[in-house]
């Protein structure tokens, strides 16, 4: 078994107090090995985004521990957590969040600038090459298709060589052909050693993963390895049928 890229130990996240308290995550423990692709699925409100945010250091659990490699994120100050996110974690979201006035190359270079590094042009172009957009380096987001914009966002997330790449519905705004392009790209990055954790509602997207975690009521209720889209859809139907 590969070393764990991420470990969660009894992670709980609750909001509010007393009668109005909501437990978004309820004592979740799991290991995500390095170089694997994990999809997180579950009905609306099951805790998927909360799991992603707590694992990526964007939110703090109210209980338990989250490890990135050997670093316990729950013990870090806000400043150290921000630095860790910049250096060791990458994100892609449903909305591509590219800056419209910047070219693809400038958008990809941004995380390096934010980390106080002077971006090397060759390094930025090499990442754009990896997502098949080397020749689009000088184009602005408005001059590119949705799929191309998401590939620029992917390049931007990868330019710092993050240990883990997190995706929150990264194909949610794309049509099925373009989704497949982006998912194949993620798959080949994982095959090259990258660790990816992605929230999705789409069984076809989940079928690109090595493992699917099914959340319900803030807990991991089920999982599937090497999933086929039909199996994923069947498990989701079963989960949705369980009364709260």
Positions touching ligand ATP (CB under 6 A) are 15, 22, 24, 42, 44-50
Q: Which residues contact 218 (CB under 8 A, 6 or more apart)?
A: 13, 23, 24, 25, 26, 28, 46, 47, 50
Within a 10 A sphere around the Cβ of 29, how many other Cβ atoms?
12
Least distance (Å) between residue 41 CB and ligand ATP:
9
24 or 124: whose CB is closer to ligand ATP?
A: 24
15 or 226: whose CB is closer to ligand ATP?
A: 15
208 or 214: whose CB is closer to ligand ATP?
A: 214
Least distance (Å) between residue 203 CB and ligand ATP:
14
What span, in angstroms and rounded, lies between the C-alpha atoms of 202 and 176?
10
Rounded to the nearest 5°, which phi and psi values hold at 117? -105, 150
Least distance (Å) between residue 205 CB and ligand ATP:
14
Least distance (Å) between residue 121 CB and ligand ATP:
38
- What SS3 class is residue 241? helix
Q: Which residues contact 175 (CB under 8 A, 6 or more apart)?
A: 146
Least distance (Å) between residue 236 CB and ligand ATP:
12
The token pair at 74 is 């729950």
46 or 103: whose CB is closer to ligand ATP?
A: 46
Strands 37-41 and 63-68: unpaired
Kindly report the length of the chain: 244
46 or 160: whose CB is closer to ligand ATP?
A: 46
Within a 10 A sphere around the Cβ of 22, how many other Cβ atoms?
12
- Among 213, 241, 240, residue whose Cα is nearest residue 227: 213
Rounded to the nearest 5°, which phi and psi values hold at 19? -65, -30
171 or 194: whose CB is closer to ligand ATP?
A: 171
Least distance (Å) between residue 151 CB and ligand ATP:
24
């Amino acid at each position: 078994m590969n070393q764990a890229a991420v470990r969660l130990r009894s992670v709980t996240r609750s909001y509010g107090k007393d009668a109005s308290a909501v437990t978004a995550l309820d004592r979740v423990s799991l290991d995500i090995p390095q170089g694997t692709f994990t999809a997180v699925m579950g009905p609306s409100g099951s805790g998927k985004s909360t799991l992603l945010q707590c694992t990526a250091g964007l939110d703090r659990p109210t209980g338990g521990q989250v490890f990135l490699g050997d670093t316990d994120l729950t013990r870090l100050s806000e400043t150290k957590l921000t630095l860790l996110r910049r250096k060791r974690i990458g994100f892609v979201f449903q909305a591509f969040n590219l800056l419209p006035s910047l070219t693809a190359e400038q958008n990809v270079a941004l995380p390096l600038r934010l980390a106080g590094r002077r971006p090397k042009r060759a390094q930025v172009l090499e990442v754009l090459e990896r997502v098949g957009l080397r020749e689009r380096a000088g184009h602005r987001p408005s001059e590119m298709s949705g799929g191309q914009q998401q590939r620029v966002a992917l390049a931007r997330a990868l330019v710092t060589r993050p240990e883990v790449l997190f995706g929150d519905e990264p194909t949610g705004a794309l049509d099925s052909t373009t989704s497949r392009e982006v998912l194949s790209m993620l798959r080949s990055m994982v095959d090259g050693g990258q660790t990816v954790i992605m929230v999705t509602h789409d069984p076809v997207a989940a079928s690109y993963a090595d493992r699917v975690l099914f959340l319900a009521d803030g807990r991991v209720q089920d999982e599937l390895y090497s999933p086929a889209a039909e199996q994923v859809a069947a498990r989701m139907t079963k989960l949705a049928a369980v009364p709260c």
